[in-house]
Chains A and B, each alone.
Chain A
Amino acid sequence: MVRGFFIAAVVALAPFAAHAQEARHPHPEHWSFSGPFGTFDQGAVQRGFQVYKEVCAACHTMDHLTYRHLGEKGGPFVASGKWNAASGGWEEIHLGPPHHGGRFVPPTDNPFVRAIAESYEITEVDPTTGEEITRKGRSADRFVSPYSNPYQAKAVHGVAPPDLSVITKARHDGANYVHAILTGYTDAPEGEVAPGGATNLSYNSYFAGGWISMPPQLTPDRVTYSDGTAATPDQMARDVVTFLAWASEPKQIERKKTGMMVLIYLSILAGLLYAAYRQVWRDVKH
């Protein structure tokens, strides 16, 4: 064995500092939306929205989403129904894409989306009086922020909780990472102390440095699912990750479906061009 540089040091008794650990790699989970043919499990996205609404939204913003996005094609609350031209209204509206007859209901007419939007209060300035008013939310409104201004987030929590609009894209291995964080809280290993002895941090080995500002959230039965699914921490984490993955890129199913057609088209085109190439060059030595 080659010994390189020798550094000799004489020290008096010195405490050995606790070293920040490398974050653990998240466990690869199976997701309904992963892979080239993956699609969103509609029930999981809806339940995930509930978890977001009842748990995450208390501290996290989702600035880039509007309520109408929820009712767009591929969205968690997409609805279909029958258009009655005579009355100029929709009939037999139900949740889900229009598989068996019926038509896609535009998000502006979607009653499920409207109900969600109307459950929020929006504070704004009345342009005629200049007074601050509150009104019910509308489908076109952006997801309401829990803060009245961007500084409040940091002031309240010490660290501003990250916006969740594109969270599964903003972290390496996003879906698995978020799932691992949500379910990865443990007691700190022997001798591990939070930086500066802080008491408002929780230990999570999937988080870089090990100490995270967000306390554990998904305790059993934190939410009550209306479809009877048991609200275990893992179930809630999977559901909310599915919702966040949808929110990060609502067009991803459309993307993959279009891609399949494009690849088939290009492959046939390339095949034809190759045949043409052989034909053109058949008598040329090269």
Chain B
Amino acid sequence: MSGPSTYEPKTGIERWLDQRLPVLRMMHDSFVDYPTPRNLNYFWTFGAILMLCLVVQIVTGIVMAMHYTPSITEAFSSIQRLKRDVPFGWLIQNIHATGSSMFFLAVYIHMFRGLYYGSYKAPREVLWILGVVIYLLMMATAFLGYVLPWGQMSFWGATVITNFFSAIPVVGVPVKEWLMGGFAIDNPTLNRFFSLHYLLPFVIFGVVILHVWALHVTGQNNPDGIEVKDKSDTVAFTPYATIKDFFATAVFMIMFAAFVFYLPDALGHPDNYIPADPLKTPPHIVPEWYLLPFYAILRAIDFAIGPISAKLGGLILMVGAIAVLVVLPWLDTSKVRSMRYRPVARQFFLVFVLVCLALGWCGAQSPDKVVWQAGEFSIAGSYAAGAAGEQKLTATGNTLEEVEKTFGKQLAGAIASNGAGTLTKTVVTPFQFKVTQFSQLLTLYYFAFFLLILPILGLRETPGRVPETIAKAIGAKRAAATERGA
């Protein structure tokens, strides 16, 4: 897409600079005259929104680092000091904490957009893979950052996640101890997590530059998934895309601000307002919402497969869930890029989105929680006490506890009236579909979508008719709209 440069230096200083470092030429060609497909919808504004998120996180993060103390005795109170005593410290901390959620919300929309419109397909494979790398770095940064306030969830989240590394054969335990800087999560862990949390955003920034570079080489994909043929298919980035990005970003900021100013704690866990206590495990250890789907996949495997322990199996699947995205450009065999013209694939995609949301739900639940139960629990017993003979006792209820309670009362009554004796009882447990099984089912679909559905569907489905050019696609859309209107 990067055609010949149209930049013309207007002043002597610009000419002078252009001959020595053509940085203004690069900016002009990338953000002013850059040809943009004219059919882009609002999903294409999330690149700009994500750029805003990254800058906001880095700026607020740098200010927070000026007030934060990475020490297990001081970390929690240094955040409190920031929120109470530093001018606008409460605002900076709220923006940074809420900002991570907004960043992930935007990145998920951005990724699902890429999946739906086939933005990963040739020639944009490298662009897509760089995006996956950014996402991976974001997850690492977010995890490290969540540990820094040194609340209960910080500490126990770090404990659970670093523990999973010990499942790796041979090197697992040394790797875990290397990550923790000792044999448990402690001051060295906090120090290195702080160091890395400060480092990684700049690594992300570097990869973002590569991501944007790759984008400007191949040009943007578009909702119709048709390559740009000539100038009639495009508009100049400025003012067309710029003003649309500004508008969408402003709308996004309204939602962002609503969370920052009115729901600052809605996306966090109350336990993280309790200082970390290594001797007190919280009843439910959960990561932040944006990591929940992967946490569900991690916990879905509760059985060993040959030499692979349940723990290692979960770890392999969680890593695989992201790794599969890297090879996605070669898994999807369809010649048609956009799902706008793939009616069957669209159905599978919709299910995939729901599966990801359901995995997120599973990640937040206790693995033993019963999702669905066929019928009731019941206890049927008979109590034999000497002369009184046999006495039938039955109880039913929705939980084992409830049934045992009712049964216990009956039994106590029988004992009171007949004296000591012997009890024979049969407990009937109905079939229970628990969160773990639900997660397994969802994980199965997650992988099947990439490894089976997309490869097979691309070869077997009959796609709709794809217009030859973007201009024609717009023409067809407008004609349909007029027809509907008439």
Interface residues, chain A, CB within 8 Å of chain B? Answer: 1-13, 16, 19, 36, 63-65, 69, 162-163, 165-166, 169-172, 174, 208, 249-251, 254-256, 258-260, 262-263, 266-267, 269-270, 273-274, 276-277, 280-281, 284-286
Q: How far is the CA of A269 from the CA of B252 in the complex (A)?
A: 12
- Distance of B407 from chain A, by nearest CB (Å): 8
Query: Which B residues lie within 8 Å of A269 (CB)?
Result: 250
Query: Which A residues lie within 8 Å of B405 (CB)?
Result: 16, 19
Given A63-B77, A255-B264, A267-B254, A5–B429 Cβ distance below 8 Å? yes
B140 at the binding interface (Cβ < 8 Å): no
- Distance of B97 from chain A, by nearest CB (Å): 12
Give per-residue flags for B423-466: 1 if the beta carbon is below 8 A from chain A beta carbons, else 0.
Answer: 11111111110000000000000000000000000000000000
Given A2-B374, A4-B429, A19-B405, A172–B260 Cβ distance below 8 Å? no
Q: How far is the CA of A285 from the CA of B432 in the complex (A)?
A: 56
Given A2-B431, A280-B240, A281-B240, A170–B262 Cβ distance below 8 Å? no
Give the residue name and chain of the A residue nearest to B238 (CB).
Answer: A280
Query: Which A residues lie within 8 Å of B428 (CB)?
Result: 3, 6-7
Asked whether B270 lies within 8 Å of A277 as measured between CB atoms, the reply is no
Give the residue name and chain of the B residue nearest to A267 (CB).
Answer: B254
Query: Which B residues lie within 8 Å of A10 (CB)?
Result: 424-425
Q: How far is the CA of A263 from the CA of B255 in the complex (A)?
A: 9
Asked whether B243 lies within 8 Å of A255 as measured between CB atoms, the reply is no
Cross-interface CB contact of B425 among A11, A256, A260, A274, cutoff 8 Å = A11
Secondary structure call for the A interface: loop
Asked whether B240 lies within 8 Å of A256 as measured between CB atoms, the reply is no
- Distance of B458 from chain A, by nearest CB (Å): 29
Asked whether A166 lies within 8 Å of B273 as measured between CB atoms, the reply is yes
- Told that A1-B375, A13-B415 touch, could you supply 12 new A-B pairs with CB distance under 8 A? A2-B374, A2-B430, A7-B429, A36-B262, A64-B81, A170-B270, A251-B84, A270-B247, A270-B251, A280-B240, A285-B474, A286-B474
Asked whether A255 lies within 8 Å of B257 as measured between CB atoms, the reply is no
Given A249-B90, A277-B244, A3–B424 Cβ distance below 8 Å? no
Give the residue name and chain of the B residue nearest to A10 (CB).
Answer: B424
Given A249-B90, A284-B38, A284-B235, A276–B243 Cβ distance below 8 Å? yes
Q: How far is the CA of A267 from the CA of B257 in the complex (A)?
A: 11
Can you list 27 pairs linking A and B with CB atoms under 8 Å apart? A1-B375, A3-B374, A3-B375, A4-B375, A9-B427, A10-B425, A13-B422, A16-B405, A16-B411, A64-B80, A169-B270, A171-B270, A174-B270, A255-B264, A259-B262, A260-B261, A262-B257, A269-B250, A270-B247, A273-B247, A277-B246, A277-B247, A280-B239, A281-B244, A284-B235, A284-B240, A285-B38
Give the residue name and chain of the A residue nearest to B399 (CB).
Answer: A19
Q: How far is the CA of A116 from the CA of B246 in the complex (A)?
A: 52
- Distance of A252 from chain B, by nearest CB (Å): 8
Asked whether B270 lies within 8 Å of A256 as measured between CB atoms, the reply is no
- Distance of A243 from chain B, by nearest CB (Å): 15
Q: Which 4 A-B pairs have the closest CB atoms?
A: A259-B261, A4-B431, A170-B273, A16-B408
Interface size on B, residues (CB 8 A): 62
- Distance of A173 from chain B, by nearest CB (Å): 9
Interface residues, chain B, CB within 8 Å of chain A? Answer: 38-40, 77, 80-81, 83-84, 90-91, 94, 235, 239-240, 243-244, 246-247, 250-251, 253-254, 257-258, 260-262, 264-265, 270-271, 273-275, 283, 374-376, 401, 404-405, 407-408, 411, 415, 420-432, 471, 474-475, 478
Cross-interface CB contact of B427 among A8, A19, A169, A280, cutoff 8 Å = A8
Given A170-B270, A249-B90, A9–B426 Cβ distance below 8 Å? yes
- Distance of A211 from chain B, by nearest CB (Å): 15
- Distance of A147 from chain B, by nearest CB (Å): 16
Asked whether A277 lies within 8 Å of B243 as measured between CB atoms, the reply is yes
Give the residue name and chain of the B residue nearest to A177 (CB).
Answer: B270
- Distance of A60 from chain B, by nearest CB (Å): 14
Asked whether B243 lies within 8 Å of A273 as measured between CB atoms, the reply is yes
Cross-interface CB contact of B80 among A165, A274, A284, cutoff 8 Å = A165
Q: How far is the CA of A256 from the CA of B260 in the complex (A)?
A: 9
Asked whether A4 lies within 8 Å of B257 as measured between CB atoms, the reply is no
Asked whether A273 lies within 8 Å of B261 as measured between CB atoms, the reply is no
Q: How far is the CA of A13 from the CA of B416 in the complex (A)?
A: 13
Q: How far is the CA of A250 from the CA of B81 in the complex (A)?
A: 12
Asked whether B432 lies within 8 Å of A4 as measured between CB atoms, the reply is yes
Q: How far is the CA of A276 from the CA of B243 in the complex (A)?
A: 7
Given A2-B375, A255-B90, A262-B261, A13–B423 Cβ distance below 8 Å? yes
Asked whether B240 lies within 8 Å of A255 as measured between CB atoms, the reply is no
Q: How far is the CA of A11 from the CA of B407 in the complex (A)?
A: 13
Give the residue name and chain of the A residue nearest to B38 (CB).
Answer: A286
Q: How far is the CA of A69 from the CA of B85 in the complex (A)?
A: 9
Give the residue name and chain of the B residue nearest to A4 (CB).
Answer: B431
Q: How far is the CA of A11 from the CA of B247 in the complex (A)?
A: 71
Query: Which B residues lie within 8 Å of A5 (CB)?
Result: 429-431
Q: How far is the CA of A218 from the CA of B419 in the complex (A)?
A: 46
Q: Which one of A9, A254, A277 has the highest number of Cβ atoms from chain B below 10 Å of its Cβ?
A: A277
Asked whether A263 lies within 8 Å of B425 as measured between CB atoms, the reply is no
Q: How far is the CA of A285 from the CA of B232 in the complex (A)?
A: 10
Query: Which A residues lie within 8 Å of B471 (CB)?
Result: 285
Q: How far is the CA of A7 from the CA of B425 in the complex (A)?
A: 10
- Distance of A250 from chain B, by nearest CB (Å): 6
Asked whether B426 lies within 8 Å of A6 as measured between CB atoms, the reply is yes
